[in-house]
Amino acid sequence: MAAWLVRRAARRVAGELRGRGPGPWSLSSSTVPVLGVPAVDQSRAFCSVRRFAGDSAAAAAVEEPENGLAASGLQCVDFPGGKLSFVGEMNFLPESQTERINCYRVLDDDGGTIYNSRFQEVSKDLALKMYSNMVTLQIMDTIFYEAQRQGRISFYLTSNGEEAINIASAAALSAQDIVLPQYREPGVLLWRGFTLQEFANQLFGNKLDYGKGRQMPIHYGSNRLNYFTVSSPIATQLPQAVGAAYSLKMDKKKACAITYFGDGGTSEGDFHAALNFAAVAEAPMIFFCRNNGWAISTPTAEQFRSDGVVTRGQAYGIRSIRLDGNDTLAVYSAVHTAREMAITEGRPILIEAMTYRVGHHSTSDDSTKYRPADEMEHWRTARDPVSRYRKWVQGNGWWCGTQESQLRNNVRQELLQAIQVAERMPKHGLAELFTDVYDQIPSNLRQQERSLLDTIKRHPAEYPADVPV
């Protein structure tokens, strides 16, 4: 305490010698820029602590005056966390704002652009590639879901209703950006070049599966495509993504990390730890929340009392935006701008995409037990992001019914062929269960392997014949 008082007195004396000095920092009424327009960062005005900030121009340290008065004339004190003004009234912050935070949108329900909406322009080639990938993802979900129902694969979950989130966000990233997904983002991997055959290989766990059959279906991953392998535990990928983003910053890479998660993931401690970690480290990353209304069977009303997820970004000092997750152009524009801010300004960005999970949580779930079927049907038909985006593409004269039929037929045939190939492909051997963790397999794992082989010999009928022992 004595040392702190000495340092504080020294700063005060230095301030008096300098005279009044520069005025105190102020916060503008809004620190969120218009899309595509860089903003001068004033959100760090709360804290005058100096520390390593890399090359971020927005992180420069500024000294505050030590005259004990704010610009308004109110008495203030420089606490360790920053200078604060005193007031005589006892005011508690309200539990929520009087009005909900607005939702950014470009396309209306009929696929027309909203008057005066601002968005990132897309070329014809990019627009058609995005639409083609959305259709492919939609068909892929339908066929693989049916394959699970036929008993050909053990598990599956779909992205129905969230195709725009998958494809549009992926299109706004670069190949150098690192992706840490949850499990409902196969479209991001599809956009990056993961083939339908590679998807099928993983689902069937065959010899060409990069995970060697050790992961359950839909747990895709690709080192080649900078796509971390899906992990079942909820929200564990969030703090990991911050570490990946910070490594990009230290290496001075012109890239960012992006992590996806659902509204249910925000109830995990890892979510809060990750946001605070990213804000303090000024990591170039994007937190992308798919607020689809349901964490399996738990509705958002039972998840939190705040105005969704977007308000939590501000609480941690993170620039945030809420958007229509079923609007392909809104998703693309927001992620494109967020990426630029994250990299050039050295900061994390939080995106809350409002959408709806049209399908069941997975093939292990029957969502009609906890939500009305007509609600699901309404979102499947009236709010379908693929149909909505198609109307916009057709309105530009870039697409027609003939092209639609040809695309869907080609994708379906390619998928059916991929399934046939994946089914015939041999499985990995049993020994692969014990590899790729230690350089030299320890004795206790060797003992477990011998015990497993002995069990199989004693009960051969209980073990699948298509897996080499």
Choosing from 66, 361, 367, 428, the catalytic residue is: 361
Sheet holding 285-291, edge to edge: 178-180, 257-262, 285-291, 348-354, 319-324
Token pair for residue 212?
A: 């060697």
Distance of CA 323 to the CA centre of its chain: 14
Sign (positive or negative) of CA dihedral 213, 214, 219, 221: negative
- Give the C-alpha separation, 263 to 293, whole Å: 7
Active-site position among 28, 174, 232, 364? 232
Is 364 designated active site? no
Count the neighbouring beta carbons within 10 Å of the beta carbon of residue 264. Answer: 21
CB-based burial of residue 39 (10 Å sphere; 0-12 exposed, 13-18 middle, 19+ buried)?
A: middle
Q: Tokens 């059959």 sit at which residue?
A: 213
CA distances in angstroms from 389 to 140, 178, 187, 271, listed in the order given = 18, 27, 16, 31
H helix count then E strand count, the chain: 13, 9
- Does the active-site annotation cover 219? no
Is 48 in the active site?
no
DSSP label at 67?
Answer: S
**Cβ–Cβ under 8 Å, residues 70 and 85:** yes
Active site residue: 16, 28, 96, 146, which one? 146
Q: What radius of gyration, in Å, describes the C-alpha atoms of the chain?
A: 26
Enter the tokens of residue 468: 């080499």
- Token pair of 88 as six digits: 């005589």
375: annotated active-site residue: no
Residue of 336, 362, 367, 428 marked catalytic = 362
- For 412: left if phi > 0, alpha if psi spans -120 to 50, otherwise beta; the answer is alpha
Residues acting as catalytic residues: 146, 232, 361-362
